[in-house]
C-alpha cells in the first residue's frame, strides 16, 4: 500500500487553484479530502472556463484537473444549522485548509482560535495573498497580481524588455506546495506531541522564496542592476550560448555549453572572433546574432546530430502534440483516466513515484454537493 | 517555538544540484538535522566523471543553498570510511540523492542496499539521467522546459518558444520531494515502513501544466499564447501586464464592461463578453493603447474604487520600499566565519505565528566530520 496519508481527513474550504492544489497533493498521498463548498455556486473555479473549452456537460477543464480524487460537501455557511454540522465535522478532521481573504473565516466563527476550541489537535492551514497585516492584506490573492508585485516579471524579462509574466500559475502552485509542506510537517510533529498547529502561507512569500537564489544575490549586491539581466543568472549574458534557437525547420534548446565549443562546430566559425576577448558583455548582441544566423542554416535534426557528436547537451523544443507522440512521454505514464459523474475524464497524475509505483485513483472531481448525504450519514450530522 | 516540527529527524543529503539542495534546505528550515555527505577530492573525481558541471558557482550561492546544514566528508575507497557511512545510514531517517543509477550502485547507496541497513529509511531519488531513459529531458532545467511544452506558455504568440528564466523545474522538484519525504516519514512513524521516492524534473513540469494538459486532452487544440501581452495562454482578455504612461500595471480576470467603467473606451464597448477569448488580441490592443495615456496611480485609483483585480508591477527595489513587504520580515542576516555576513531570505512557512529563520551558516567542507563520528559512530 503506497498511500502515505491513509486515514487522514482533510476539510478543504479553498477555491480556485492555490489551496485546491494543496488538497490535490494530499489526496494523491492517500488522504480523504472533502471540499466544503458554498451552496449555489460552489468553488468559483467550477465556472472558470478556459480557451472556450468545456467538458461534456459544460464543466470547466481546470476544475477537473485540480479537484480529482476529492469529495464535495455543499453548505450555506451563513445558516446556523449548517455551521453546526461543519463544526461537528471539524471535530473529526485532521486538517483544515482555506484561502479566503483575512477576516472571512473569523466572521463565520471558523478562524483558527475558534476551531482550536472545537479540536485542539487540528492542523489549520491557510493561504493569503500578502499576509495578514498591512495595506495589502485585504487585497485579492490572484496569481498574475502576485507575480506583478513580487518582482518576478522583471526578472523573467531579458535585458531591458518590458516585464514578462510566467504563463503558468506559479504563485498558486508554489503557495499550495508550501502549504502542503507545512501541514505535513505539523502532522508528523502531532504524532509525537499530540498537538495541533496553525500554518500560514502567503502567495507573496511563496514567490519570494521561489526567487530566493537570485533574490539573495540582489540583496547582497546593492549595485547590481536588476534590469540589466546580470542578476538573473539564468540565460543571462554570462550563460550564452545556452537557450532556444530557431533552426531551418523548428527550434532547438542547448544547455551547459560554452561559446568556445560551439565555435568549433561546422558552420559556426564566425563565432571564433568573439570568444577570445575579455569584453564579452559588450559583444553579447553580436554573439546572439551570429548564433541565430548559424542555427537557422540547418534543420533541427542536423543540429541535434552535430551537437550530440560534440557532447553538447541539447534537445528539440516540443509542443504538446509532439510531446505526446514521443516514446519518452509514453514511458512516463503521465496520464490517467478518472470517472466524474459517469463521464471519463483524461487528465495527468501525481508526478512522484512511491515504492516503485505511480499514485493513481479513478475518482474524478465531484459534482457540487455530491457527497452531502453520505457524509451526513457517516458522521451523524 | 520550543521544537521545530522536524526536530530529531536526520537527513543525509548527497546532492550536487539545485533541486536536491533546495529540498535539504527546506527540511533544515523545518527543523531536521541535514548532513551533507561529501566525498574527498580523490573520490569526488571518481564520482563526478559523469557529471558535466556542478551547480555551485560561487560562495554566495553555496551559502544560500547550504545554510543550516552540516558537512561530513568520507572517502568511499577507504574501508573505515565506508563503515562510517553505513553507520550514519543506520542512524538517519532520510536519504536524498541526485546520482544516476550507475553512480548510485557504485557507491552502494541504492534503495535495496540501504534498506538492508535501515528498513524504515525514506530513500529519495531525484533522477538526473532519467530512469525512463529520457536522458536529455531529465538532466537540466532548460532541456526539461524545452521538452515539457512549457516553453509555449510564456512570451507572446509571435515570440519563439520561451524559457522561464528561473530554474523552475529544479525548484519545484525539490519542493515536491519535501512534501513526499515528510508524508513518508508519517507512514514510517505509523507503520514502521520505509519508502522509496522517485522524482524527475520532467514529471514535475508536466504536473505543473496539469490545467493546460487536461484542457488539451479535451480540446485537441494546442494552447495558443496571446499575440499581445500574453500572461496565460488559456485566459481571455484583459488578462495581462500593460504599460502605462509611467510604468506597468497587471490586470487579472474581470468582465469587460467592468473594466470599461474605468477605461471609458468607446472601442472596447463594441465587444461582448462572449468575445473575450476568441477576439482577445484585438481587445487587448485596445486596452493597451488606452492604458498608455495615463500614469499607473491614475488607473489604480479607478480600479480600486471598483475593487477590481489590478496591481502595479514592482521591481525588487520598489517592493523593498513597500510597507507590505517590510511587514513580512523576509530578510535576516547570517554570520559567517571571520565576521563576514550575508542577507538571506527566510522559509516562507509560518507555524503557530513563528517565522522560521535558521541563521546557521553553510558548513565548511568536512566541518562536522569529527563531531558526527563521535556522536554516531561510538
Position B41 scores a pLDDT of 59
The DSSP code for A111 is S
Q: Computed over its alpha carbons, how large is the radius of gyration of chain B? A: 25
Q: B184: number of CA atoms within 13 Å, CB side?
A: 28
The residues near A311 (Cβ < 8 Å, ≥ 6 apart) are none
CA distance A270 to chain B (A): 23
pLDDT per position as a tens digit, A295-316? 999 999 999 999 999 989 899 9
The verdict on B235 touching A (C-beta cutoff 8 Å) is yes
CB contact under 8 A, B143 and A314: yes
Q: Which three cell numbers stand for residue B209?
A: 501544466
Least confident among A88-102, B100-114, B288-302: B100-114
Helix/strand/coil for A34: strand
pLDDT of residue B47: 35
Instruction: Enter the C-alpha cell of residue A336.
Output: 490517467
The active-site residue, picked from A94, A172, A209, A276, is A172
Q: B212 and A165 in contact by Cβ < 8 A? A: no
pLDDT band at B40 (very low <50, low <70, confident <90, very high): confident
Stretch B341-346: mean pLDDT:
95
Lowest-confidence region among A145-149, A257-261, A353-357, B332-336: A257-261
The SS3 of residue A9 is strand
Contact A205 B139 (CB under 8 A): no
More confident residue, B329 or B336: B329
Q: Distance between CA A360 and CA A21 in Å, rounded?
A: 16
Examine the pLDDT at A235 and tell me if it is beyond 50: no
Is the confidence at residue B51, as pLDDT, over 60? no
- Please give the interface size between A and B, counted as residue pairs whose CB atoms are below 8 Å apart: 419
Q: What is the mean pLDDT of residues B158-171?
A: 94
pLDDT of residue A273: 81
Q: What is the distance between the alpha carbons of residues A190 and A123, in angstroms, rounded to a whole number?
A: 9
Q: What is the pLDDT of residue B137?
A: 66
Cell of A107: 466572521
The radius of gyration of chain A from alpha carbons, rounded to an integer in Å, stands at 25
- Locus of grid cell 559583444: A283
Three-class SS state of A85? helix
Sign for the CA dihedral angle at A315, A318, A322, A325 comes to positive
Best mutation target among A2, A50, A242 (most B Cβ atoms within 10 Å) is: A50
**Residues whose CB is less than 8 angstroms from the CB of residue B347 and which lie 6 or more positions away in sequence, other chains included:** A209, B26, B29, B30, B355, B356, B357, B358
Q: What is the per-residue DSSP string for B229-281? A: S-S-TT--TT-EEEE-SSSEEEE-S--HHHHHHHH--HHHHT--GGGTTTTHH
**B364: pLDDT strictly greater than 70:** yes
* B241 touches B231 (CB < 8 A): yes
* pLDDT at residue A229 is higher than 60: no
Could you give the CA distance from residue A231 to residue A233 in angstroms, rounded to a whole number?
A: 6
Q: Helices B141-148 & B201-208, crossing angle to 10 degrees?
A: 50
**Confidence at residue A114, expressed as pLDDT on a 0 to 100 scale:** 97
Window 46-65 of A, Cβ < 8 Å to B: 50-53, 55, 61-62, 64-65
Which residue does chain B place closest to A349, by CA atoms?
Answer: B207
User: What pLDDT digit, counting tens, does each position of A18-57 carry?
Assistant: 999 999 999 999 999 999 999 999 998 998 877 777 777 6
Chain A nearest-CA distance from B166, in A, is 6
Catalytic residue at A172? yes
Q: What percent of chain A has pLDDT over 70?
A: 93
The per-residue pLDDT for A2 is 73
Quick check: A224 pLDDT over 80?
no
CB A101 within 8 A of CB A138: yes
Q: Which value does ipTM take for this structure?
A: 0.95
pLDDT at A283 over 50: yes
Q: Strand A243-246: give its sheet, edge to edge.
A: A243-246, A251-255, A313-316
- Whether chain A has a CB inside 8 Å of the CB on B196: the answer is yes
CB atoms A351 and B207 under 8 Å: yes
Residue matched to cell numbers 489590478: B310
Q: How far is B286 from chain A (nearest CA, A)?
A: 18
Average pLDDT, integer, range B95-103: 88
> What pLDDT, on a 0 to 100 scale, did the predictor assign at position A1?
62
Half-sphere exposure of B84 (CA within 13 A, CB side): 20
Amino acid at each position: 500500500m503506497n498511500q502515505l496519508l491513509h486515514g487522514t481527513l482533510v476539510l478543504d474550504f479553498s477555491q480556485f487553484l492555490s489551496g485546491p492544489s494543496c488538497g490535490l497533493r494530499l489526496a494523491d498521498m492517500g488522504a480523504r479530502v472533502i471540499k466544503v463548498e458554498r451552496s449555489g455556486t460552489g468553488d468559483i473555479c467550477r465556472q472558470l472556463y478556459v480557451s472556450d473549452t468545456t467538458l461534456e456537460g459544460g464543466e470547466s477543464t481546470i476544475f477537473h484537473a485540480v479537484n480529482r480524487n476529492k469529495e464535495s460537501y455543499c453548505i450555506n455557511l451563513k445558516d446556523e444549522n449548517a455551521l453546526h454540522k461543519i463544526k461537528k465535522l471539524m471535530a473529526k478532521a485532521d486538517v483544515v485548509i482555506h484561502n479566503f481573504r483575512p477576516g472571512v473565516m473569523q466572521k463565520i466563527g471558523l478562524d483558527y482560535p475558534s476551531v482550536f476550541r472545537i479540536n485542539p489537535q487540528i492542523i489549520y492551514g491557510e493561504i493569503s495573498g500578502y499576509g495578514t497585516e498591512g495595506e495589502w492584506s485585504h487585497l485579492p490573492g490572484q496569481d498574475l497580481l502576485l507575480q506583478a508585485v513580487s518582482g518576478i516579471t522583471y526578472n523573467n524579462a531579458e535585458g531591458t524588455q518590458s516585464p514578462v509574466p510566467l504563463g503558468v500559475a506559479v504563485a498558486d502552485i508554489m503557495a499550495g506546495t508550501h502549504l502542503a509542506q507545512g501541514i505535513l510537517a505539523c502532522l508528523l510533529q502531532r504524532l509525537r506531541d499530540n498537538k495541533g498547529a496553525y500554518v500560514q502561507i502567503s502567495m507573496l512569500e511563496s514567490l519570494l522564496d521561489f526567487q530566493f537564489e537570485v533574490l539573495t544575490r540582489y540583496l547582497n549586491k546593492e549595485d547590481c542592476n536588476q534590469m540589466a539581466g546580470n542578476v538573473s543568472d539564468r540565460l543571462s549574458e554570462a550563460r550564452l550560448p545556452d537557450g532556444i534557437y530557431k533552426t531551418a525547420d523548428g527550434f532547438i534548446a542547448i544547455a551547459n555549453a560554452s561559446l568556445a565549443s560551439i565555435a568549433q562546430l561546422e558552420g559556426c566559425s564566425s563565432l571564433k572572433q568573439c570568444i577570445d576577448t575579455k569584453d564579452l558583455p559588450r559583444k553579447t548582441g553580436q554573439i546572439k546574432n551570429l548564433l541565430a544566423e548559424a542555427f537557422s542554416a540547418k534543420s533541427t535534426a542536423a543540429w541535434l546530430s552535430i551537437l550530440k557528436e560534440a557532447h553538447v547537451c541539447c534537445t528539440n523544443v516540443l509542443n504538446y502534440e509532439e510531446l505526446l507522440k514521443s516514446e519518452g512521454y509514453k514511458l512516463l505514464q503521465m496520464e490517467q483516466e478518472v470517472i466524474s459523474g459517469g463521464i471519463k475524464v483524461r487528465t495527468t497524475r501525481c508526478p512522484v513515484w512511491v515504492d516503485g509505483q505511480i499514485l493513481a485513483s479513478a475518482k474524478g472531481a465531484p459534482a457540487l454537493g455530491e457527497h452531502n448525504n453520505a457524509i451526513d450519514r457517516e458522521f451523524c450530522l | 517555538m520550543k521544537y521545530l516540527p522536524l526536530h530529531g529527524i536526520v537527513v543525509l543529503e548527497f546532492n550536487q544540484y539545485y533541486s536536491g539542495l533546495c529540498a535539504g534546505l527546506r527540511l533544515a528550515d523545518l527543523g531536521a538535522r541535514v548532513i551533507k555527505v561529501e566525498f574527498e577530492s580523490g573520490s569526488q573525481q571518481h564520482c563526478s566523471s559523469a557529471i558535466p558541471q556542478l551547480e555551485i558557482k560561487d560562495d554566495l550561492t553555496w551559502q544560500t543553498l547550504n545554510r543550516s546544514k552540516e558537512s561530513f566528508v568520507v572517502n568511499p575507497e577507504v574501508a573505515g570510511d565506508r563503515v562510517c557511512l553505513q553507520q550514519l545510514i543506520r542512524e538517519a531517517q532520510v536519504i536524498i540523492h541526485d546520482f544516476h543509477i550507475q553512480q548510485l550502485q557504485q557507491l552502494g547507496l541504492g534503495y535495496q542496499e540501504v534498506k538492508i541497513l535501515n528498513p524504515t529509511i525514506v530513500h529519495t531519488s531525484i533522477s538526473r539521467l532519467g530512469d525512463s531513459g529520457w536522458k536529455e529531458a531529465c538532466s537540466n532545467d532548460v532541456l526539461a522546459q524545452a521538452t515539457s511544452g512549457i516553453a509555449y506558455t510564456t512570451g507572446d504568440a509571435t515570440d519563439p518558444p520561451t524559457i522561464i528564466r528561473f530554474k523552475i523545474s529544479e525548484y519545484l522538484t525539490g519542493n515536491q520531494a519535501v512534501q513526499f519525504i515528510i508524508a513518508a516519514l508519517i507512514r514510517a512513524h505509523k507503520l514502521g515502513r520505509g519508502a522509496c521516492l522517485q522524482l524527475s524534473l520532467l514529471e514535475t513540469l508536466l504536473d505543473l501544466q496539469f490545467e493546460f494538459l487536461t484542457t488539451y486532452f479535451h480540446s485537441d487544440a494546442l494552447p495558443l499564447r496571446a499575440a499581445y501581452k500574453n500572461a496565460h495562454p488559456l485566459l481571455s482578455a484583459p488578462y495581462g501586464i500593460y504599460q502605462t504612461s509611467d510604468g506597468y500595471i497587471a490586470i487579472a480576470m474581470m468582465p469587460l464592461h467592468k473594466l470599461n467603467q474605468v477605461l471609458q473606451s468607446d472601442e472596447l464597448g463594441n465587444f461582448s463578453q462572449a468575445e473575450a477569448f476568441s477576439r482577445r488580441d484585438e481587445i487587448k490592443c485596445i486596452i493597451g493603447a488606452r492604458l498608455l495615456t495615463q500614469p499607473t496611480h491614475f488607473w489604480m485609483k479607478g480600479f480600486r474604487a471598483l475593487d477590481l483585480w489590478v496591481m502595479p508591477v514592482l521591481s525588487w527595489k520598489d517592493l523593498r520600499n513597500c510597507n507590505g513587504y517590510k511587514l513580512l520580515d523576509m530578510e535576516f542576516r547570517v554570520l559567517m566565519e571571520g565576521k563576514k555576513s550575508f542577507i538571506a531570505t527566510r522559509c516562507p512557512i509560518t507555524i503557530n505565528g513563528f517565522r522560521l529563520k535558521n541563521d546557521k551558516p553553510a558548513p565548511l567542507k568536512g566541518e562536522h566530520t569529527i563531531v558526527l563520528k563521535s556522536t554516531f559512530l561510538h
